[in-house]
Each structure stands twice: as C-alpha cells, then as structure tokens.
Amino acid sequence: MEHSALVLIELGAVFFALGALGRLASRFGMSPIPLYLLGGLAFGQGGLLPLGDIGQFTSIASEIGVVLLLLLLGLEYSAAELVTGMKRSWTAGLVDIVLNAAPGAAVALLLGWGPVGALVMGGVTYISSSGIIAKVLGDLGRLGNRETPVVLSILVFEDLVMALYLPILTAVLGGISFLGGLQAVGISLAVITVVLVVALRYGRYVSAVVDSADREVFLLKVFGAALLVAGVASAMQVSAAVGAFLLGIAISGSTAENATRLLEPLRDLFAAIFFVVFGLNTDPRSIPPVLVWAIVLAVVTTLTKVGTGWWAARRQGIALLGRARAGAALVARGEFSIIIAGLAVAAGAVEGELAALATAYVLLMAILGPTAARVVEPIARALRPIRSRALPSGVSP
C-alpha cells in the first residue's frame, strides 16, 4: 500500500474514533479530554493499535491545537476584566498557588525528579481547566450564581500566572542560564503590560484589523494572526501559547464574539489532536507504577481546590452552599496541565514517568471535577439538616 494511502487511512481512523469518543463523553455529560487521552494511549507505542505514519502531521497539528486553545481562552476576557479580576482575587490567587502547586512539587521531589520536575508538576497540579469549568457551569445553569464571579476571578488570576509561568518554564527546560531566565521573564512582563495597555486603550483598532464581513476572510485573518503572533512570541522566548492568549485579550467586542463562534470547531478539532498526541507519546505500561501517586495527588488537590474556592467565596460573604459550589467548580484539571507536561516531555528535560503521572492525574481530575460540581449541591443540602441539629440553639447554619 502506498504511504499516502496508509496515512489517510490512519488519520481517518483516528478522527472517526475521536468523534465516537466525543459522542460517548457527551452522553455521560463529561469532558471528552479523558477519552481523547485514552485514545492516544491506545494508538501509541505500547498500546492496542500502534500507528507509525502520522507523526509529522499530528506534531504540527497538536501545536496549532495549543495555539487555538489559548487564543479562544483569551477571547473570553477583555483587558478590563483581567485587571478587575486581578484586583479582586489576588489574595485568593496566592492561596491557590501555595495550596495547589505544593503537592505536585512535593511528589516530584519525592520521586527524585529534581527542581525541574518539581517546577513542572507544580504547574500541572496548580492550574484548573477553564474550558471544563466553563462548560460545567453552563450545563448546570450556574453562570448567574453569586459565587460564579469568585470562580471566574480565580481562573483569570491563574491564566495571568500562566502568562508568567510558561516563559519561565520554557527557559528552564531549554537550559537557559539564570540571567537568560530573568531576561525571558522581563520580556514576558513587558509584552503582557504592552498588550494590556493596547487592549485597554486601542482594542477597537486591533479588532478592526482582523475583522471582516466575509466569513472566509475573517477566518483567514484571525487564524493567520494567531499563528503569526504565536510564532513571534516563541522566537522571543515568551511562549507561543502566551502569545495566542494575549492576542485573544487584545481582540474585543463583537469581533471577539464572532471569532469565538468561527474558531470553536477548529479549536475542538486541533485540541483533540493535541490530547491524542500527548497520549501517543505516553507508554501506557508506564502508568501503573505511578498510579498510586496520581490517586494521592488527585485526592489531595481536590481538597485543596475545594478549600481555595470555599475560602475565596467566604471572603465575599457567600453562604455555605455557594462556598461549596465554588470550591467544587475549581477541581477539574485538563488542557493546561497537559500543555505544561507536554512542553516538558518535548524538551526531554524530565523523566519519562512524569508524562505518565500527568496523564493519569488529568484523567482522574477531568472526571472528578465535573462529578464534584454536580454532586456537591445535593450532598450539601443533605448535610444541612445534620449541621443544623449539631449547632447550638439560636445559631444559624
């Protein structure tokens, strides 16, 4: 069989399988990310049906997937919302970093993966999945709840932290010196500051450059701008993902809304490939040795995320049920955790077991997160009578 024919057959099989997995996930009301990762494990080396001829396509497609994931994430926020979110949630954001990055870093050190492994795993366990959380809140009809702005402000803070963390991680993984690392952080801070200022004052001009009444022209301009900015950002050692995120912030108003609707199918397609590629690069036989650690991290970081949301909501005067919902909403991890682990694995600067641990962890958390968000309210309501009976007379629960 000709090489091109074999590649088309394998790609067709992969895309069809992804469609089937996505439909299965939607029927159970869960994120498709865990199933995409499992699909990658099945198609990769050591899996049930290894594929060997689509590496070149899937490699560049997965990079485009990261760019589109971050671009659409940036399109969800305006510069003003980012600034407001930072002011409102910086204390909760700091608590979030300490509580949720520490477990991953500690496990990496215990496993002997050194400071670089600790930096990577700290990021993997810290960052919540904005995509999964936004979908779950929408599905449950909680976007208008009083605690939802608290959840969103913490997610905004996390995204801004990622804009600083990714350049640092890229510098460390690339073996850049301490001075070079400081330079990368300085460039990142300067770029973020400039983009925020431009977006606040001149966002309408940026939107006008990419906007068009013709859908085809609009798609080409937005998609091309995203890849161009991502490439320039990568050349400046700021991270292609951060570049795409900042471009999304700079595009505002109706242009951002139209771009989101137009790019969502592309984002879903290439993001699915990204998750599959990560699974392809992970040998499923390497997961059982780290599965216990993945479960430990899942339990600990579920509790720490719930604690973070509870504390942040309490500071805003939200009642007990709202605090519980805020904490449970933050549990899910997904795309960013895999992006961080993927960068580390691609750089060859960490142990191969780290990819296995990250995969197993995200599989667990992408399932636990939506489940926790759905069951927390019935559980809290069931426990309310018990709590009321336990309180002294005259004390309100």
Domain membership flag for residue 11:
no
Would you state the pLDDT for residue 165?
83
pLDDT of residue 110: 93
- Burial zone of 3 (CB within 10 Å; 0-12 exposed, 13-18 middle, 19+ buried): exposed
Distance CA 271, CA 68 (A): 8
CB 55 within 8 Å of CB 61: no
At residue 341 the predicted structure's pLDDT band, cuts being 50, 70 and 90, is confident
Residue 25 lies in a domain: no
Q: Kindly tell me the burial class for residue 135, based on how many C-beta atoms sit within 10 Å of its own C-beta (0-12, 13-18, 19 or more).
A: middle
* 188 domain residue, yes or no: yes
**Domain contains 277:** yes
Looking at residues 243-259, what average pLDDT do you find?
Answer: 83
Domain around 238: 56-383
Q: Is 397 within a domain?
A: no
In a domain, 51, yes or no: no
* Alpha helices, DSSP H, located in the chain: 3-27, 33-43, 55-75, 79-110, 114-126, 130-139, 148-173, 178-210, 215-235, 240-250, 253-280, 291-315, 320-329, 335-347, 352-390
Q: For position 131, which CATH number holds?
A: 1.20.1530.20
Cα(303)–Cα(297) distance, integer angstroms: 10
246 found inside a domain: yes
Give the Cα separation of 5 and 7 in Å (integer). Answer: 5
Per the structure, the count of domains in the chain is: 1
pLDDT tens digits, one per residue of 41-60: 777 665 566 665 566 667 78
pLDDT of residue 55: 60
- The token duo for 230 is 């991502």
3-state secondary structure 234-298: HHCCCCHHHHHHHHHHHCCHHHHHHHHHHHHHHHHHHHHHHHHHHHHCCCHHHCHHHHHHHHHHH
Those residues whose C-beta lies under 8 Å from the C-beta of residue 255, and which sit 6 or more positions away, are 207, 208, 210, 211
| Measured distance CA(194)–CA(171) in Å, rounded | 21
Does a structural domain hold residue 44? no
- Quick one: angle between helices 3-27 and 33-43, nearest 10? 150
Quick: pLDDT tens for 277-332.
777 767 777 888 899 999 999 999 999 999 999 999 998 888 888 999 999 999 98
